[in-house]
């Protein structure tokens, strides 16, 4: 049904004159404040802020999203690390009336959800923005009774992706998930009402000081989670019992010879299924993410390790190909929707296998460490492993606390599990703080320096092709106001001479005071003109092409400076490897 839901949704909005966007990369482009896209609107921020989108003013898609702040909730029936968000957008085109009417039509006419099962919430207003009576009126005109409309405050009916940037009041749609008849009056506290769709009326831009100003256009941003709505349509209260997951869970039951009916085992099965799907999607992405100790690579590593730990818990032979088997099932489910999954099949399986082998070695090292620790303790007549040590085994060697307890009991020793939990919690708080740092802040930073670095990145890309050869391609880009970071495909370390040549070319082009020109054209035309395309699967029919004099031509959303004379002196600060065949340059421009 999940397949169906995505197709039904996209087709419905195509029939309302929307254009379909391909899902963007899992990594937000040019946005260092965020590790992964967390909502369908995120790649569209520049357009919500007023940029013209090459596909027009009505867009729809399903977007690859991750929400990782709740990693520990994964394992219950409803949480996932990776999920797909369906969305439709109006960029200054239609507003509340059409948005609400179409949502209602899709739910009741296409998905055939009875209106008796629906309730909605709207914004009750605050000192700055009045109550959204308009949305309430529209809902009533469609047949939602007054009692089923709740007016709520900012915590419920206001949405923005970050602390600054595009935001607005929203109207949320709820479905009554129960065999009982839905009460006439909507009670927001009653958990049987489950949110299924969020329509945000993005007409404001939140400033760093907390105030809001009006955007140049009134936009609509909606989001609907595929797994949740699929569960509703298939009438189950456990996402993992839907057609999205059923065969995967059955496969894990078969491999482990355990039953999903046992809640402890079910939890492990959900984690294994969820994490392998996330691993497949992350490693398939054209951003070329590989396991590492930082940023997205670290998340990938954690997911693989966590998945293996839970497989061990289910007594699965982790040296077998169980994970590859499951990954292959997931690939075959998703390749139709994400061409990169199809294209990068081999890489996905390699990433999984290599990291698993590495982790097995770490576990072995951990066992040696464990023996060393217990010998020392025994000599001192201590028969308890303290919380800190247990946590070190967990953190450095990936030892789940259960494993430490089990191994200790074989040596007639105890483990201070409470002490372990305290250390664990402290660590978790720290890493949460770390990740919320990543999530807060301006989403699309169009500060002057960012724009400058963005243009410099184009010059660098072309200069690298000139010096290292035409096969050099962008693998990722990350810009802060302090520097640019550019990942590209190239097998070996650059020599000092090559780096110098690249620097000289970029500086030469800057000094030539080249105009930066933006043109819109078809993808075909762009290709004919030799424009460099970065992530080919994400373009619509019409694209923007930025030319820098006659030197560089790239398909890109912008924004850019008008002339290279606005840039400063370009300097490569660092060149290093970030994965097999991928190099990274960090560089600055100094004024
Ligand atoms: N951006 C909103 C959300 O994530 C609607 O898509 O809920």
Mean pLDDT computed over 494-506 = 96
The finding on whether 168 has its CB within 6 A of some atom of ligand 1 is no
In this predicted structure, the answer to whether residue 441 has a pLDDT above a threshold of 60 is no
The finding on whether 83 has its CB within 6 A of some atom of ligand 1 is no
How many angstroms separate the alpha carbon of residue 328 from the centre of ligand 1?
30
Q: pLDDT tens-digit profile of 286-318?
A: 999 999 878 899 899 989 988 998 998 899 999
In this predicted structure, the answer to whether residue 164 has a pLDDT above a threshold of 80 is yes
Tokens standing for 25? 């990369």
Protein residue with least CA distance to atom 4, ligand 1: 39
pTM for the model stands at 0.73
Mutate-to-test residue for ligand 1 from 28, 161, 223, 443, highest number of ligand atoms within 8 A of CB: 223
Residue 225 phi/psi, 5-degree rounding, is -80, 125
Tokens 């040696």 belong to 368
Q: What three-state secondary structure class fits 198? A: strand
Angstrom distance (rounded) from CA 238 to CA 244? 11
Task: Rounding to the nearest 10 degrees, give the CA dihedral for residues 235, 236, 237, 241.
Answer: -150
Are 375 and 368 in contact by the 8 Å Cβ rule? The answer is no
Mutate-to-test residue for ligand 1 from 83, 222, 226, 229, highest number of ligand atoms within 8 A of CB: 222
Lowest pLDDT segment from 351-355, 383-387, 397-401, 434-438: 434-438
Are 527 and 475 in contact by the 8 Å Cβ rule? The answer is no
Point out the ligand 1 atom lying closest to the alpha carbon of residue 41. Answer: 1
The finding on whether 39 has its CB within 6 A of some atom of ligand 1 is yes
Residue 95 phi/psi, 5-degree rounding, is -135, -140
Beta strands in 471-541 (DSSP E): 474-480, 483-489, 516-522
Q: pLDDT tens-digit profile of 49-107?
A: 999 999 999 999 999 999 987 777 899 999 999 999 999 999 999 999 999 999 999 99
Angstrom distance (rounded) from CA 117 to CA 182? 6
Protein residue with least CA distance to atom 6, ligand 1: 223
In this predicted structure, the answer to whether residue 247 has a pLDDT above a threshold of 70 is yes
pLDDT score at 434: 45
How many angstroms separate the alpha carbon of residue 257 from the centre of ligand 1?
40
Helix (H) / strand (E) containing 169:
strand 165-176
pLDDT score at 314: 95
Mutate-to-test residue for ligand 1 from 39, 121, 157, 169, highest number of ligand atoms within 8 A of CB: 39
Query: Which residues lie closer than 8 Å to 501 by C-beta, 6 or more apart?
Result: 463, 467
Q: pLDDT tens-digit profile of 501-524?
A: 999 999 999 999 999 998 877 777
Protein residue with least CA distance to atom 3, ligand 1: 223
The finding on whether 158 has its CB within 6 A of some atom of ligand 1 is no
Are 424 and 394 in contact by the 8 Å Cβ rule? The answer is yes
Mutate-to-test residue for ligand 1 from 40, 155, 167, 168, highest number of ligand atoms within 8 A of CB: 40
How many angstroms separate the alpha carbon of residue 44 from the centre of ligand 1?
12
pLDDT score at 380: 86
Are 283 and 290 in contact by the 8 Å Cβ rule? The answer is yes
Name the average pLDDT for the chain. 90
The finding on whether 223 has its CB within 6 A of some atom of ligand 1 is yes
Whether CATH 3.40.640.10 fits 442-590: no
Query: Could you tell me the residue ranges of all domains in the chain?
Result: 2-236, 245-361, 442-590
Q: pLDDT tens-digit profile of 539-583?
A: 656 678 899 999 999 988 778 999 999 998 999 999 998 877 889
The finding on whether 86 has its CB within 6 A of some atom of ligand 1 is no
User: What does CATH list as the number for 2-236?
Assistant: 3.30.930.10
Helix (H) / strand (E) containing 102:
helix 96-105
Helix (H) / strand (E) containing 82:
strand 82-91
Taking each helix axis as running N to C, give the angle between helix 401-410 and helix 345-379, from 0 to 180 degrees, rounded to the nearest 10. 40
Q: What three-state secondary structure class fits 243? A: coil
pLDDT score at 478: 85
The finding on whether 221 has its CB within 6 A of some atom of ligand 1 is yes
Tokens standing for 499? 């780096």
How many angstroms separate the alpha carbon of residue 70 from the centre of ligand 1?
17
- For residue 101, count other CB atoms closer than 10 A to its CB: 16
How many angstroms separate the alpha carbon of residue 180 from the centre of ligand 1?
29
Are 120 and 139 in contact by the 8 Å Cβ rule? The answer is yes
Radius of gyration of the chain (CA): 26
In this predicted structure, the answer to whether residue 243 has a pLDDT above a threshold of 80 is yes
Tokens 């169906």 belong to 4
Angstrom distance (rounded) from CA 463 to CA 472? 10
- Omega of the bond leading into 298 within 30 degrees of 0 (cis): no
Burial class (CB in 10 A: 0-12, 13-18, 19+), 181: exposed
Helix (H) / strand (E) containing 123:
strand 118-123
The finding on whether 157 has its CB within 6 A of some atom of ligand 1 is no
The finding on whether 41 has its CB within 6 A of some atom of ligand 1 is yes
Contacts 24+ apart (CB under 8 A), 245-249: 245/273, 247/329, 248/273, 248/276, 248/277, 248/326, 248/329, 248/330, 249/273
Are 67 and 21 in contact by the 8 Å Cβ rule? The answer is no
How many angstroms separate the alpha carbon of residue 121 from the centre of ligand 1?
15
Mean pLDDT computed over 365-389 = 90
């Amino acid at each position: 049904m999940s397949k169906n839901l995505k197709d039904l949704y996209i087709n419905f909005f195509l029939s309302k004159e929307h254009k379909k966007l391909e899902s963007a990369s899992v990594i937000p482009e040019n946005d260092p404040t965020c590790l992964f896209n967390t909502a369908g609107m995120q790649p569209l921020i520049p357009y919500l802020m007023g940029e013209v989108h090459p596909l027009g003013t009505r867009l729809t898609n399903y977007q690859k999203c991750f929400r990782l702040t709740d990693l520990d909730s994964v394992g219950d029936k409803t949480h996932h690390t990776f999920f797909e968000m369906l969305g439709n957008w109006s960029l200054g085109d239609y507003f509340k009336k059409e948005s609400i009417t179409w949502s209602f039509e899709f739910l009741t006419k296409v998905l055939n959800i009875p209106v008796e099962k629906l309730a909605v919430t709207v914004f009750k207003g605050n000192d700055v923005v009045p109550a959204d009576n308009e949305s309430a009126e529209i809902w009533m005109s469609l047949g939602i009774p007054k009692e089923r409309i709740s007016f709520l405050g900012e915590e419920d009916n206001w949405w923005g992706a970050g602390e600054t940037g595009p935001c607005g009041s929203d109207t949320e749609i709820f479905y009554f998930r129960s065999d009982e008849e839905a009460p006439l009056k909507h009670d927001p506290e009653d958990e049987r009402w489950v949110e299924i769709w969020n329509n945000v009326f993005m007409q404001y831009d939140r400033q760093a000081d907390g105030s809001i100003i009006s955007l140049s256009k009134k936009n609509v941003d909606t989001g609907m989670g595929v797994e949740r709505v699929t569960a509703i349509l298939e009438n189950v209260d456990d996402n993992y019992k839907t057609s999205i997951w059923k065969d995967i869970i059955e496969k894990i039951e078969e491999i482990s010879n355990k039953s999903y009916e046992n809640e402890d085992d079910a939890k492990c099965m959900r984690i294994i299924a969820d994490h392998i799907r996330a691993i497949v999607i992350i490693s398939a992405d054209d951003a070329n993410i590989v396991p590492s100790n930082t940023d997205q690579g670290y998340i990938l590593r954690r997911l693989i390790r966590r998945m293996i730990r839970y497989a061990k818990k289910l007594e699965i032979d982790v040296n077998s190909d169980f994970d590859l088997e499951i990954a292959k099932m997931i690939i075959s489910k998703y390749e139709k929707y994400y061409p990169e999954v199809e294209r990068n099949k081999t890489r996905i399986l390699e990433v999984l296998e290599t990291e698993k082998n590495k982790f097995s070695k770490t576990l072995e090292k951990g066992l040696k460490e464990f023996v060393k620790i217990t010998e020392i303790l025994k000599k001192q007549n201590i028969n308890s492993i303290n919380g800190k040590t247990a946590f070190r085994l967990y953190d450095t060697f990936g030892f789940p606390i259960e494993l430490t307890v089990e191994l200790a009991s074989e040596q007639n020793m105890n483990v201070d599990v409470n002490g372990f939990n305290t250390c664990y919690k402290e660590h978790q708080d720290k890493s949460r703080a770390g990740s919320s740092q990543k999530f807060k802040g301006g989403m699309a930073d169009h500060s002057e320096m960012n724009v400058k670095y963005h243009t410099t990145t184009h010059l660098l890309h072309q200069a690298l092709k000139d010096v290292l050869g035409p096969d050099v391609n962008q693998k990722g880009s990350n810009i802060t106001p302090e520097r640019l970071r550019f990942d590209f495909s190239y097998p070996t370390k650059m020599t000092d001479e090559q780096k110098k040549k690249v620097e000289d070319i970029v500086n030469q082009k800057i000094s030539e005071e080249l105009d930066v020109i933006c043109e819109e054209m078809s993808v075909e035309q762009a290709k004919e003109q030799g424009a460099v395309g970065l992530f080919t699967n994400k373009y619509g029919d019409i694209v923007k092409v930025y030319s820098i004099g006659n030197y560089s031509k790239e398909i890109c959303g912008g924004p850019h400076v008008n002339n290279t004379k606005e840039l400063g002196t370009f300097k490569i600060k660092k060149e290093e490897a970030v994965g097999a065949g991928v190099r990274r340059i960090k560089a600055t421009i100094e004024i």
